């Protein structure tokens, strides 16, 4: 791969697919669903041209379980889907955590619940961060808010999946998947990282004891012990991998919390508010799981009167925001479910209203 | 003069803890697989995919690398393994609940894709591990924990004749049904599984081997009665034989 410096115009979904190629993804397994089908469509050509593995599979169940198979041999593998498709993968995601098998899952959210609609949404924050799989498990969830960041976080997804031997989910929404932006691609930053795959991956018991990656642990106390080990890993991830972005928060009396597409819309509203003399700022979690709790708490300063959480859902991140703020200031919420899109005028009006309340 | 009639295959775990009921058919098939792994010298190149049910504990018996799969999904896990490491020998070991009930979609599509893997499917006509409930393969009128009055085909439909269906999948290279219940049947089963292994090693393609096995505990029979039941009843409904063999077909052309 050549190092490309110039910017090219890319659609979000295609950018994710291209980034997966750059990151050295050897296997892609996918089943079509709007609004992310371009990922599979792009890779159906690119992976074959690169002499890598592409299979258009029979279901999302098949896709994620093939990721498990490839991951178990230490191979970089990915699948992508959207809301109801990701729902089908939950059992396997729990198994991946238990079996400590790396893999990347791209989730491009659409409106829900049920089949919902194909409008952009953030209704799967809970699905991604809190999962529908069984047992005590946590996965890493990364949330981009630009096409460029979709690329960078796809890179990071593969890196973290292998660094910690776990599933990593890239959580985008329909707007990010479908919009086009200029971006730089072609410099995978983790090329030289040594993941020590040889110590755990399956390649046949040649000149060593047989090893296994299984998810049933029936011996007395075995599963309890494994849970503690997995928890230790989660604490390590929390210590090392929290990522977030702040914008004009130092003196902010109103701090907006938002992720993904909503965060960039909020940024535009904050700019306008600042021009009107209202001290608004933005705190944007990039790792939704683990959530930057301490970082949000510490961002709230003596001027901060209120944290306004905004999401394209009915307040799924709100509980994480509330528990992070920990009563340090007031927390308000505004949002739209089912594919409703929030524009910057609405956010600005909300900021103005809150500011009036603060001043009165 | 002493004559060696049986030697423990070296890919079997020494003094392993047998997890099956007395008279269960699983042990025979595991012994066949272990013997063939040795025969083809595959131990260092094999990745086995376990499933859910009595078939789950592969790592307890085999000195082989094992990856576990969720219920019904081992053909997909095996596909991921094989596509990422085409040089490895990959087989799934599943029961009828796993491969033919919850995972039949995956089984069929793996056959249709012609994945170069081997599936050994133990058919004992019930969910053994959970205590003998009806599965897709339970025989008409078979009494199980969930068909206490016998499987009523008017209410619950017909058993799945998997080998016949999978043989219709064009991607499949070798499809057979065999049984363990007598020394003769054991030898035939070994021959058939040997052929399935040969197919994968020589990149002939996907093999699906359904093995009729006894489940004395859940059938509420003695081991001897269970073996007779296989021969007299189960194998009457599920005909033994080779349903597809591309090697033979090519020979005849």
pLDDT in tens, B137-148: 999 999 999 999
Rounded-to-integer distance, Cα B126 and Cα B132, Å: 6
| Total residue count of chain A as it appears in this document | 360
What is residue A3's predicted lDDT score, i.e. its pLDDT? 53
Residue A159: DSSP 8-state? H
Q: Which class in CATH covers the domain with range B26-252?
A: alpha beta
- A–B CB contacts, 8 A cutoff, strictly below: 137
What is residue A279's predicted lDDT score, i.e. its pLDDT? 98
Q: Do A212 and B67 touch (CB under 8 A)?
A: yes
| Cα–Cα distance list, A357 to A322, A330, A350, B210 (Å) | 20, 12, 11, 73
Statement: residue B43 has pLDDT above 60: yes
Check: CB of residue A290 under 8 Å from CB of residue A140.
Answer: yes
- Of A80, A84, A82, A81, the residue nearest A114 (C-alpha): A84
Confidence of residue B80 (pLDDT cuts 50, 70, 90): very high
- Choosing among B75, B80, B82, B119, which should be mutated to test the A contact, i.e. which has the most A CBs within 10 A? B80
Confidence of residue B253 (pLDDT cuts 50, 70, 90): low
The minimal CB distance from A204 to the residues B46, B83, B113 is found for: B46
To the nearest whole Å, the CA of A124 is away from the closest chain B CA by: 24
Rounded-to-integer distance, Cα A177 and Cα A66, Å: 24
pLDDT in tens, B140-192: 999 999 999 999 999 999 999 999 999 999 999 999 999 999 999 999 999 99
Check: CB of residue A212 under 8 Å from CB of residue A204.
Answer: no
Residue B45: DSSP 8-state? G
The minimal CB distance from B65 to the residues A61, A92, A205 is found for: A205
To the nearest whole Å, the CA of B18 is away from the closest chain A CA by: 14
Asked if the domains A8-241 and A245-359 are classified in one and the same CATH topology, the answer is yes
The reply to whether B46 touches chain A by the CB within 8 Å rule is yes
- Quote the mean pLDDT of chain B: 96
- In A, what residues contact B, Cβ < 8 A? 26-27, 29, 53, 55, 57-59, 61-63, 65-73, 75, 77, 91-92, 95, 99, 101, 202-207, 209-216
Burial of B144 (0-12, 13-18, 19+ CB in 10 A): buried
The minimal CB distance from B65 to the residues A58, A67, A212 is found for: A212
Q: Which CATH homologous superfamily contains domain A8-241?
A: Thiamin diphosphate (ThDP)-binding fold, Pyr/PP domains (3.40.50.970)
What is residue B96's predicted lDDT score, i.e. its pLDDT? 97
To the nearest whole Å, the CA of A184 is away from the closest chain B CA by: 29
Check: CB of residue B117 under 8 Å from CB of residue B200.
Answer: yes
What is residue A360's predicted lDDT score, i.e. its pLDDT? 77
Domain residue ranges of chain A, discontinuous segments joined by +: 8-241, 245-359
Check: CB of residue A283 under 8 Å from CB of residue A244.
Answer: yes
Dihedral, CA atoms, A148, A152, A155, A158, nearest 10 degrees? Answer: -110
pLDDT in tens, B193-248: 999 999 999 999 999 999 999 999 999 999 999 999 999 999 999 999 999 999 99
Q: Do A71 and B77 touch (CB under 8 A)?
A: no
Rounded-to-integer distance, Cα A106 and Cα A100, Å: 18
What is residue A200's predicted lDDT score, i.e. its pLDDT? 98
Q: Do B59 and A59 touch (CB under 8 A)?
A: no
What is residue A206's predicted lDDT score, i.e. its pLDDT? 95
Check: CB of residue A219 under 8 Å from CB of residue A186.
Answer: no
Rounded-to-integer distance, Cα A144 and Cα B100, Å: 41
What is residue B1's predicted lDDT score, i.e. its pLDDT? 77
pLDDT in tens, B100-121: 999 999 999 999 999 999 999 9
What is residue A81's predicted lDDT score, i.e. its pLDDT? 98
What is residue B209's predicted lDDT score, i.e. its pLDDT? 98
Low-confidence ranges of chain A (pLDDT < 50): 1
Contacts of A205 in chain B (CB under 8 A): 43-44, 46, 63-65
* Three-state SS annotation for A244-296: EEEECCCCCCEEEECCHHHHHHHHHHHHHHHHCCCCEEEEEECEEECCCHHHH
Which helix (H) or strand (E) segment holds residue A307: the answer is: strand A306-311
What is residue B39's predicted lDDT score, i.e. its pLDDT? 96
What is residue B133's predicted lDDT score, i.e. its pLDDT? 97
Check: CB of residue A158 under 8 Å from CB of residue A96.
Answer: no
Statement: residue B81 has pLDDT above 60: yes
Statement: residue B6 has pLDDT above 90: no
Domain residue ranges of chain B, discontinuous segments joined by +: 26-252
Q: Do B79 and A55 touch (CB under 8 A)?
A: yes
What is residue B19's predicted lDDT score, i.e. its pLDDT? 86
| Cα–Cα distance list, A100 to A94, A167, B69 (Å) | 10, 8, 13
Q: Do B84 and A27 touch (CB under 8 A)?
A: yes
Residue B101: DSSP 8-state? I
Check: CB of residue B137 under 8 Å from CB of residue B199.
Answer: no
| B residues 68-127 lying closer than 8 A (beta carbon) to A | 68-70, 73, 76-85, 88-89, 105-106, 109, 113
The alpha carbon dihedral of B31, B37, B38, B40 has a sign of positive
In a 3-state reduction of DSSP, which class is residue A189?
coil
Neighbouring-strand partners of residue A168: A104, A140
CATH code of the domain occupying A245-359: 3.40.50.920
pTM of full prediction above 0.90 = yes
What is residue A2's predicted lDDT score, i.e. its pLDDT? 52
């Amino acid at each position: 791969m050549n190092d490309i410096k110039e910017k090219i115009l890319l659609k979000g979904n295609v950018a994710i697919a291209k980034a997966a190629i750059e990151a050295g993804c050897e296997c892609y397994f996918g089943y079509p669903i709007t609004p992310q089908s371009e990922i599979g469509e792009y890779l159906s050509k690119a992976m074959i041209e690169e002499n890598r593995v592409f299979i258009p599979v029979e279901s999302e169940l098949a896709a994620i379980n093939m990721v498990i198979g490839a991951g178990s041999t230490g191979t970089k593998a990915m699948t992508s889907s959207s809301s109801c498709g990701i729902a089908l993968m939950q059992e396997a995601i729990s198994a991946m955590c238990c079996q400590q098998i790396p893999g990347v899952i791209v989730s491009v959210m659409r409106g829900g619940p049920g089949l919902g609609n194909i409008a952009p949404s953030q209704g799967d924050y809970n699905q991604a961060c809190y999962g529908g799989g069984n047992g005590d498990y946590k996965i890493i969830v990364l949330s981009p808010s630009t096409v460029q960041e979709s690329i960078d976080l796809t890179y990071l997804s593969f890196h973290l999946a292998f660094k910690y031997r776990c599933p990593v989910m890239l959580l985008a929404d329909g707007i990010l998947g479908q919009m086009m932006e200029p971006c730089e691609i072609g410099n995978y930053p983790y090329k030289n990282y040594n993941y020590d795959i040889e110590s755990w991956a399956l390649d046949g018991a040649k000149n060593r004891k047989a090893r296994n990656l299984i998810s049933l642990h029936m011996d007395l106390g075995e599963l309890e012990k494994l849970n503690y080990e997995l928890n230790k890993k989660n604490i390590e991830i929390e210590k090392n991998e929290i990522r977030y972005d702040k914008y004009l928060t130092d003196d902010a009396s109103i701090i907006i919390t938002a992720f993904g597409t909503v965060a960039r819309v909020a940024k535009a509203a904050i700019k306008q508010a600042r021009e009107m003399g209202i001290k608004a700022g933005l705190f944007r979690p990039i790792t939704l799981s683990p959530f930057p709790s301490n970082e949000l708490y510490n961002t709230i300063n003596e001027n901060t009167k209120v944290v306004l959480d905004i999401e394209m859902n009915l307040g799924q991140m709100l509980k994480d925001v509330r528990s992070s703020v920990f009563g340090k200031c007031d927390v308000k919420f505004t949002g739209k479910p089912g594919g409703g899109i929030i524009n910057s005028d609405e956010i600005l009006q909300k900021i103005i209203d809150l500011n009036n309340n603060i001043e009165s | 003069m002493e004559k060696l009639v049986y030697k423990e295959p070296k890919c079997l775990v020494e003094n392993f803890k047998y997890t099956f009921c007395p008279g269960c058919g699983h042990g025979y098939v595991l012994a066949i697989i272990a013997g063939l792994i040795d025969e083809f010298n595959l131990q260092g190149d094999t990745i086995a995919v376990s499933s859910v049910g009595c078939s789950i504990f592969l790592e307890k018996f085999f000195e082989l690398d094992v990856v576990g799969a969720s219920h019904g999904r081992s053909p997909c896990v095996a596909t991921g393994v094989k596509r990422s490491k085409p040089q490895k020998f990959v087989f799934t070991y599943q029961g009828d609940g796993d491969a033919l009930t919850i995972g039949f979609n995956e089984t069929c599509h793996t056959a249709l894709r012609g994945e170069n893997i081997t599936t050994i499917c133990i058919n004992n006509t019930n969910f053994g591990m959970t205590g003998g409930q009806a599965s897709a393969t339970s025989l008409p009128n078979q009494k199980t924990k969930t068909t206490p009055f016998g499987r009523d085909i008017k209410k619950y439909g017909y058993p799945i004749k998997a080998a016949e269906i999978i043989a219709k999948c064009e991607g499949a290279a070798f499809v057979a049904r065999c049984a363990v219940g007598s020394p003769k049947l054991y030898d035939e089963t070994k021959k058939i599984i040997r052929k399935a292994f040969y197919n994968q090693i020589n990149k002939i393609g996907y093999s699906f081997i359904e093995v009729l096995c006894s489940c004395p505990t859940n059938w509420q029979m003695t081991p001897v009665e269970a073996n007779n039941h296989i021969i007299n009843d189960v194998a009457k409904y599920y005909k033994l034989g080779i349903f597809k063999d591309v090697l033979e077909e090519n020979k005849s052309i």
